[in-house]
Amino acid sequence: MFISSAFAQTAPAAASGGDMQSTLMSMLPLLLMFLVLYFVMIRPQMKKQKEHRTMIDALAKGDEIITAGGFVGRVSKLGDGFLTIEIASGVEVQMQRSAVIQVLPKGSMK
């Protein structure tokens, strides 16, 4: 008996137009949190990925680079997915292009 009266009390409220507005207002904080998350975290990360991709595509033979593993070297050969860098005279290492994290100014490597 107690449960049936509870359903009877909420049934007319579901049919009213004000309930739709209260539902939208309760979802508003969730939407605002998603927007803040997008502009604070997701968008800057996508921008950083795009800049890294352009840097990788612009690599040329003779560029001085730093890799994710900490190697500092000069690009000696370029391939589609791989590149070869010279880390010392006569010592060459082949690695993925995506491992390059920074292109140094010319003359940085002595």
What span, in angstroms and rounded, lies between the C-alpha atoms of 75 and 87? 9
**16 pLDDT higher than 90:** no
In this predicted structure, what is the pLDDT of residue 78?
95
**The CATH number of the domain covering residues in 60-104:** 2.30.30
What span, in angstroms and rounded, lies between the C-alpha atoms of 48 and 28? 30
Tens-digit pLDDT profile for residues 38-80: 999 999 999 999 999 999 999 999 999 999 999 999 999 999 9
The predicted model gives 13-19 an average pLDDT of 59
Query: What are the structural domain ranges in the chain?
Result: 2-54, 60-104
Rounded to two decimals, the pTM is 0.68
Which structure tokens are listed for 21? 């507005």
Which structure tokens are listed for 83? 């590149």
What span, in angstroms and rounded, lies between the C-alpha atoms of 60 and 39? 34
